[in-house]
Chains A and B, each alone.
Chain A
């Protein structure tokens, strides 16, 4: 396999704050040192790591720092990371929207970028005119577009509206049309940034399918940025995790996703009682969560299909009416999809005795596929409206469900297949 893209020590410096006389002073000083004194840019040295949440000393940050990696031809690389980790900057550099501060990117073949679909759509022009416009902006020639026009219109599913100005389109239709054009672009390297976020389920499926065809069937290289882990997992072979402008992991897509979600699960390492990433007035708070098996022994993991009791230790900090308490316990799979919910208002339970310090959730049989589920706990008084929240905390606990037999004693079921629910059932044939 040959290398399609090579990033050599790519860094990108950004200046924060407003453009003002201060900027002018910096520019003059930079110009003076570089052009007159022939020295290195003085502001390159004082750049800081790009951590969005902390206040920095310097006005300059490295949006990307020493990015160094190679992409093989035909590979589909998922780039994941938190907001502001530098994902989009990386793609912008590759698609030549802006230039790196240092380093060099080398690539083989035409690069097509889909940083935002529908780029250059003019609201007054019809869908058909915009297909030409958009196609040309993305680097297609007129005859090329004409040849693919029917295919593009068909793929977008907007045939009825094709001669109507796009300002009359719904936003979803606009995205469909934009993606349809981009999907029919034939670059050797395709750069895609979060395009699947909009559009309905049917279209998302179509879009993912098209991208799979592009990479598998046609052997093109794709760089894909997304927060949708399911899409990354489906599409990508390898993955890169960016954190604060640096590569924190590079390897297979599955491993990268695990690493990335691991970063998120970091929070659960702090004891629940001292965590501060919670909302609500704190009149009553969850301070500890433990699991019990059917023999009432404390366990660290749950097993598929078995009895489970979850104990929530609470701390009451105010004079409350516990009979009004509503408890919600929600489970999310590693891709952030809600899979289970136990809401006490649906189950009608009176928590009058909660002042004793604990309440329990008893699950007779845990009919869930093995996986690591993240638990969200919410306590509220009277209603479930946010203003009545006493305590709400995401990733309060990671519930590890281990593999076990389910349908038949002694026969383990398959590990996680991308869905959660298990239902008892059996096949039989007439005797």
Chain B
């Protein structure tokens, strides 16, 4: 009887690196339905609907212009303030949205996870992908404002070849958010402390990333003999944001391939680690969540 062909074997623990990509692929329809659900249900019974995607960054930018531009007087590398803030906000918002949504995967979906099995990774994956729509719309807003500045405001369009890196940058953002998010979600199933910690850590993180100020400002600053610029670049989101701004607005200077590759490697390792941790937790999370 031992040589019978079992198709399913359920054991207490998985092997460490047993990530069933094929299984995830089998559920691709589910992922696409999750994406569709995330998008279509977001603005049911609202009047402005997807317009909220535009209102949100617009208000944020106005606020930044008052606080950081007006009151604090932080320069923006010669780029018009609305454009500078909008570029940063779009990118950061995508990262932050993906991260917060992903980090709540287990807690938010406890009901459905408790009833039926499907690869749990489908949920955060769908989140990251469906957030692209919002990102796209906000990017569209950015480009429209950009075009208005060029056509009416006589601002000189300043694209660089690095703008071509855009798809890679988005991929890196998504990867980082997914990686961090699933690690946090795995850790918060039992102890919710981290969830509280994380919700405000994300908002603090934004200030450690050059969103409301240019990275060039930190060139001349030192902390214990280390260039603050270097410390800033250790934040894996910094090189991505900077490359985006340099590519599209031509502001500041390129952070260097070295940092961009660092960020990419960071993302890959984090994502791999995240998947391993997530995989371990998903088997028993129902008992603790």
Give Cα A95 to B203, complex, Å: 39
In chain B between 20 and 34, which residues have their CB closer than 8 angstroms to a CB of chain A? 27, 29-30, 32-33
Per-residue interface assignment for chain B, residues 30 to 65, with 1 indicating a CB less than 8 Å from any chain A CB and 0 otherwise: 101100010011001100000000000000000000
The residue in chain A whose Cβ has the minimal distance to the Cβ of B38 is: A122
B4→A122 contact, CB < 8 A: no
Give Cα A108 to B201, complex, Å: 47
Q: Does A424 contact B (CB under 8 A)?
A: no
Q: Does B258 contact A (CB under 8 A)?
A: no
The interface size bin for chain A is 35 or more
Residues of chain A within 8 A of B7, CB atoms compared: 107-110
Q: Does B8 contact A (CB under 8 A)?
A: yes
Q: Does A19 contact B (CB under 8 A)?
A: yes
Q: Does A390 contact B (CB under 8 A)?
A: no
Give Cα A30 to B113, complex, Å: 26
Q: Does A248 contact B (CB under 8 A)?
A: no
A98→B30 contact, CB < 8 A: no
Q: Which of B10-18, B91-99, B171-179, B243-251 contacts A (4 or more CB under 8 A)?
A: B10-18
B116→A115 contact, CB < 8 A: yes
Q: Which of B127-135, B139-147, B279-287 contacts A (4 or more CB under 8 A)?
A: B279-287
B33→A136 contact, CB < 8 A: yes
Q: Which of A98, A106, A111, A165 contacts B283 (CB 8 A)?
A: A98
In chain A between 96 and 120, which residues have their CB closer than 8 angstroms to a CB of chain B? 96-111, 113, 115-116, 119-120
B117→A23 contact, CB < 8 A: no
Q: Does A14 contact B (CB under 8 A)?
A: yes
Q: Does B6 contact A (CB under 8 A)?
A: yes
Give Cα A115 to B117, complex, Å: 10
Q: Does B161 contact A (CB under 8 A)?
A: no
B9→A138 contact, CB < 8 A: no
Known contacts A137-B112, A141-B29, A93 near B10 by CB under 8 Å: yes
Q: Does B223 contact A (CB under 8 A)?
A: no
Known contacts A96-B117, A142-B29, A107 near B6 by CB under 8 Å: yes
B4→A97 contact, CB < 8 A: no
Q: Does A350 contact B (CB under 8 A)?
A: no
A3→B1 contact, CB < 8 A: yes
Q: Does B155 contact A (CB under 8 A)?
A: no
Give Cα A96 to B6, complex, Å: 15
Q: Does B158 contact A (CB under 8 A)?
A: no
A111→B116 contact, CB < 8 A: no
Shortest C-beta distance, B19 to chain A (Å), equals 16
Give Cα A137 to B32, complex, Å: 11
Give Cα A107 to B4, complex, Å: 10
Known contacts A19-B191, A99-B283, A125-B40, A113 near B29 by CB under 8 Å: no
Residues of chain A within 8 A of B30, CB atoms compared: 136-137
Give Cα A105 to B6, complex, Å: 10
Residues of chain A within 8 A of B10, CB atoms compared: 93-94, 96, 99-100, 104-107
Give Cα A97 to B117, complex, Å: 5
Give Cα A107 to B11, complex, Å: 12
Give Cα A109 to B9, complex, Å: 11
B117→A113 contact, CB < 8 A: yes
Q: Which of A97, A107, A111, A133 contacts B115 (CB 8 A)?
A: A97
Shortest C-beta distance, B62 to chain A (Å), equals 31
Shortest C-beta distance, B179 to chain A (Å), equals 24
Shortest C-beta distance, B222 to chain A (Å), equals 41
Known contacts A98-B284, A108-B7, A103 near B12 by CB under 8 Å: yes
The residue in chain B whose Cβ has the minimal distance to the Cβ of A145 is: B29
Q: Which of B9, B13, B37, B113 contacts A97 (CB 8 A)?
A: B113
Known contacts A105-B10, A108-B4, A119-B115, A92 near B286 by CB under 8 Å: yes
A to B CB contacts below 8 Å, 17 in the list: A15-B287, A19-B191, A92-B114, A99-B11, A99-B284, A100-B12, A102-B12, A107-B9, A108-B5, A113-B116, A113-B117, A119-B115, A124-B41, A136-B27, A141-B29, A142-B32, A165-B44
Given contacts A103-B12, A119-B116, A141-B29, 9 further A-B contacts (CB under 8 A): A2-B4, A95-B117, A99-B13, A104-B11, A105-B8, A106-B10, A108-B6, A124-B45, A136-B27
Which 10 pairs, one residue from A and one from B, show the smallest C-beta to C-beta distance?
A: A96-B117, A136-B30, A99-B283, A105-B10, A106-B6, A119-B115, A107-B8, A124-B44, A142-B29, A98-B286
